[in-house]
Every structure is written in C-alpha cells, then in structure tokens.
Amino acid sequence: MNSQNHPLSINQSSALSVNALPPELAARFDLYPENKRRPINKTLFKNDYFQLTCNMRDQTLNVCSQGDIVYSAIPYDTARNYIQRAAIQYLLHPKAVRQYIESHKNTLEKYLMLSIFQVTGKKVEENSPEVCQAHQAIFDNPLFEIQILGRLLQHDETGPLSANLAGKFLFSENVRTGISEYIGEYLNFVVQLTHSLPIMTDGRNAQLLDNRANQQIDQNIHKVLTYESDIKPGLELLPQEINQSIESAIILANQTMPVRSKPLLRSEFGKELAEVRKNYVAHSVNPGELESYFENVHSTDNTHLINVVSDMHTMEGKLPFTNKNFNILAGDASDSQAADGEIKGIYVIGNHDLVDVLPINRDFEDPQWEKWRPFLHYEWFETLLQNPDDSWPMLPIGHHDFYEIVKEELQQRFPQMQVLNNSSCIHEGVRYIGLTIPVVLVKRKKEQQQFILASLKALLQEDHELPTVIVSHAPLFNELSMLTPKSEAYNKEYHCSEAEIEQLFETYKIIGAIHGHHHIPASSRRYQFVTFAGRKRFVVCSIYSKINTGLELTDLLSSKIINGEQ
C-alpha cells in the first residue's frame, strides 16, 4: 500500500488564511454569553459535550471537548487525535479503513499476543485460538474498529505502543474505557457542525470550507468531512442508535443536538479516574526497542518532485525510503552512519549528524581521528563524545571549522547531494539557503541571530526577487517554527529580536522556511502559513515516519498565498 496517496494519509494546516471570520460566523459570538469573558478562545458552535472555538490571537479553529466528557479511562492515553481522524475516515471510507487494518495483520497479532499476556499471564502464539478470536472481535464492532485504526495510525507515525495494550487492543478490556461512547458523541457533533456551518475537519484540524484552495484541499477533499461528504457508506455500518442519532443531527442542524446515550463523565467518575491515574504503572517500553518486532507494511517509494523530510534517525545503515527526484533533508537522517549514493538534493547539518560522522572507535591515535584532533581540547567536543545530549547547549555557533569537516563527511556518504553548510544552491528557479543551526540555543540567542543575519547578508547578495527558502535543522526562531506554544519544548524567549533580520525578510523574496529537530508528528500538521515581516510565508516541518516519507514542496512554492495572489 502506498500511503502517499492513501485516503488515510492527511496533510493539512489548521491555520485560517483570512484576517477575520466571515460575518455569518462572527455573528455567532453573540449566541454564547461566555464569549463576553473570553478574549481569546470564543465559542462558535457547541452541544452538551463538544464545541467549536476560534482562537482570536492566531485565527485558528479548534474542535474540542467541553471538559466533562472523558475520552479514555486509560491513563495517559495519547491517541485521541488519531482516533478522531480514524472516526472521520471510517465515516467516509469504511472499505479503505478495513484494508488498512488488514494490511497490519502481523502487527495486530503481536499486539494481541502481548495484550493477552498482560491480562492472563499466558503466552500464546500468533495463530492461537485466543489471538484469532481477539482479531475477529476488531471487525465485529465498528466503534472498536475505529479505535484500532487510530492505534495503527499512531503506531505508524510515532513508533510501537507498549503501555496498557489490553485496554487498547482487546475488546473485552476496551469496553470499560469509555472510548466507544466518546467516538459516538464526537461523530454526532462533527456531522451536525459541518451541516450547520461552512466548516471542514479531518478529525484533527478544522478549517473554513471556503478556504480549501488556500490549503490545497481540493486534491485532498476526500480526506475531510464537509456538508458535501457522502457518509452513507460508513453510517450504515455504525450501530443503529448512532446511525439514527447522526441522521437526526443532520435534520436538526442549528438546533439542539439529540443525545444518543450518556458517555463517561468526569462529573460522575472524576474521583475514580483520578485514583486510577494516581496508582497507574505504565510498563512502557521505548518504541525504538520494539521497532524490530514490527514489519513496515507501507511502501518506501516516494515520488514527490521536491521532497522534504527530516529526523529519520535510521538505525539500518541506509535511508528508509527512496526518491529519485530532488530531496531536502533537514538533518538527523542517520544514527548508523547511513550512506546513499543515489539520492539527490540538499542536506543541512543536524545535531545527531555531529555524532554520526565521528569514528566508532575511541582510539584517538588512530589515523581516522586525525581530522578531529584539533577539537579534542574543547569542552563541548569532549562532552559530545561522552554524553551528546549534554553537549547540545555548548555547541559552537554557525561558522566553525568543525562543521566544515562534518559537511565533508556527509558529502562522502551522499555524493549526489549538496550539503549546505551556510551556503546556497538554486533548483528550478528557487534559491535554497542552508544554515547550520543544529539545535535551539535560547540562552545564546543574540549570538545565534547575529550569525543568521551575517549569513543571510552574505548569501542573499543583490538578487532581491529570486524566490528563496531557508533550510535549517533547528528552526531559525519562533516566528518561523512549527513548534506550538503548547509544547514543553517551546520557549517564548526564542523569538526574533534582531531587527535587521526582519528588514532582510522585508527586502528579499524569502517565501518560506524549512526545519526539523522537534519531531512534530504529521498528525499535528506538516506546514503552516505565517505572517512575518509583513508578508505571508510557509513553514514546513516534515519528520519521517512509516506513513510520512516526506512532504511535496511543489504546491507550496506555487501557492497563491505565498505569491501574493490571495
């Protein structure tokens, strides 16, 4: 199965591309009294359990629960967005959902074996009656099938799951989690929402329907729910009470939504759930340790004309995908000294590359270490050798002889790529500037931004009209980063404080920025349009996963938003 064109492969941004909501939506603010005391997140539409809100600060729409409904009684269950996406896809493409799940049969059998062991202490084989029965139970209940799809999407995007597998994969255990009831209410809400307002959603992001051209939705419209969507195929497979409730919601759009049944509510079970979470032991295992137990069922071929990907961290000694066109690798491709003589494009240096290029042995008298010996007396280099994670804040900034040698090593491994170490190249009329920013240096921000400024001045030269994209491993600064302020890694102090950088962006046709480093999953969004220095620009962060071997950049380069036509 080629996930690049599969209806379950989603690529959208949730940001609105208009400065204000249409009058028919803005007028809805007066319908909800709570908006008077909410300066930022204002309600546009709601029922007993969910609401559509508009963030007035960054002009984004968000479907969220109102707080009382419990998504999952499983502590620290992180799959909600995946399961919501799965619910939308089940409604739109039930056959494709079934095919996707069936393609993961071996993966599911391993999860079921582990789940049965967690519950019974009994080790069973893949073809045992217990596993066969548990596998069939997935397809006997549509709401459970939706959950399994969500778990597999999470598995393919973030790595193997390990905590509370029984509650996630065994129907007998899952019935106590409240997730099925949550799914029923969620579908009820989004169907009525999309029939009441010009809204579309993929289960993660919500956007204005009339914004589809701006976000390249025309080619992906089959992935999102709108009032035009044909939901009959999935609706007919859902339990009768949910089917009838959703059909009633369509008829009664803009009126009070009928309540199908009572889900798990915090107001009734809050203390019990808190106690479960308090005493919860996850027994979690690092996904990297489990990777070898699961096969990749997705195609590794990628046909994007300009393919953007980062943070593959391959442990196999080779890149985990193939693309014969132009690739932009935003650092950290390998943790196993991978090499590829065929791949073409550009590469920028990431923090893991700094370790990956070093000789494996630690005999500093070995001839392999000759080029690295000048750095042995530096504290940052000594720390890089002993404990790389502690060395990141100490790394030299920008122009340093060390990075030039790293570039030479990477160039040998990827001979048909241009490793851009504070340099540039032109491909099909677009200039790509590759800056060496391996990590985010908040405490040394001033020095780093002075380096960015000096590098851009030198590389932009006098060609003000040449479309330019800046590529770096870590983002340049918050204004051109995909990292959300809600992330623990976000630091508000990492903003652009160098006025001359903004002036450069005003003067030159810098249309976008590409970065990696933060491992932002595709489900969170892979690109967005931002306004910086008075102009709309794109920001891309496309990390590698089994269902994401890169982002097609061509559409963004020709976007009407970027080219000032909208």
Q: Is residue 266 a part of any domain in this protein?
A: no
Q: Is residue 361 a part of any domain in this protein?
A: yes
- Euclidean distance between CA atoms 165 and 431, whole angstroms: 48
Best CA proximity match to 323, nearest among 144, 550, 133, 134: 550
Burial class (CB in 10 A: 0-12, 13-18, 19+), 460: buried
**pLDDT of res. 414:** 97
Best CA proximity match to 264, nearest among 176, 391, 326: 176
Q: Which two tokens stand for residue 563?
A: 């080219």
- Euclidean distance between CA atoms 449 and 11, whole angstroms: 31
Which of the 8 DSSP states describes residue 20?
Answer: S
The count of domains in the chain is 1
Q: Is residue 109 a part of any domain in this protein?
A: no
**pLDDT of res. 286:** 65
Structural contact between residues 550 and 327, judged by C-beta atoms closer than 8 angstroms:
yes
Q: Is residue 93 a part of any domain in this protein?
A: no
Task: Give the number of other Cβ atoms within 10 Å of residue 267's Cβ.
Answer: 9
Residue located via tokens 């000694």: 317
Distances (CA, A) of 164 to 161, 173, 264: 9, 10, 19
C-alpha dihedral sign at 152, 155, 160, 161: negative
Give the angle subtended at the CA of 72 by the CAs of 68 and 74, to the nearest 5°. 130
Q: Is residue 366 a part of any domain in this protein?
A: yes
pTM of the model as a whole? 0.79
Q: Which two tokens stand for residue 220?
A: 């992906």
- Euclidean distance between CA atoms 19 and 31, whole angstroms: 22
Best CA proximity match to 264, nearest among 192, 175, 190, 204: 175
User: Cα-Cα-Cα-Cα dihedral of 129, 130, 135, 140, to 10°?
Assistant: 90
107: which residues sit within 8 A by CB, 6+ positions away?
Answer: 152, 155, 294, 295, 297
The domain that holds 439 is classified in CATH as: 3.60.21
> Alpha helices of 23-104 — where are they, by DSSP H?
23-26, 80-92, 94-103
Q: Is residue 539 a part of any domain in this protein?
A: yes
Residue 296: alpha-carbon gap to chain centroid:
19
Q: Is residue 345 a part of any domain in this protein?
A: yes
Task: Give the number of other Cβ atoms within 10 Å of residue 118's Cβ.
Answer: 17
Distances (CA, A) of 172 to 417, 439, 543: 52, 46, 36
Task: Give the number of other Cβ atoms within 10 Å of residue 251's Cβ.
Answer: 11
Domain limits for position 433: 301-557
**pLDDT of res. 24:** 75
For residue 186, which amino acid is it? Y
Q: Is residue 306 a part of any domain in this protein?
A: yes
For residue 564, which amino acid is it? G
**pLDDT of res. 283:** 63
Query: Could you read off the pLDDT tens digit of each residue along the chain, which spans 566 residues?
Result: 334 434 444 333 444 433 466 777 788 888 888 888 888 889 999 998 999 998 887 678 889 998 889 999 998 899 999 999 999 999 999 999 999 999 999 999 999 999 999 999 999 999 999 999 999 999 999 999 999 999 999 999 988 998 899 999 999 999 989 999 999 999 999 999 998 888 899 888 888 876 544 444 333 446 788 888 888 888 888 888 888 888 776 765 544 433 345 788 888 888 888 877 777 766 666 666 677 778 888 889 999 999 999 999 998 999 999 999 999 999 999 999 999 999 999 999 999 999 999 999 888 889 999 999 999 999 999 999 999 999 999 999 988 999 999 999 999 999 999 999 999 999 999 999 999 999 999 999 999 999 999 999 999 998 999 999 999 999 999 999 999 898 889 999 999 999 999 999 999 999 999 999 999 888 788 999 999 999 999 999 999 998 899 999 999 998 888 877 65
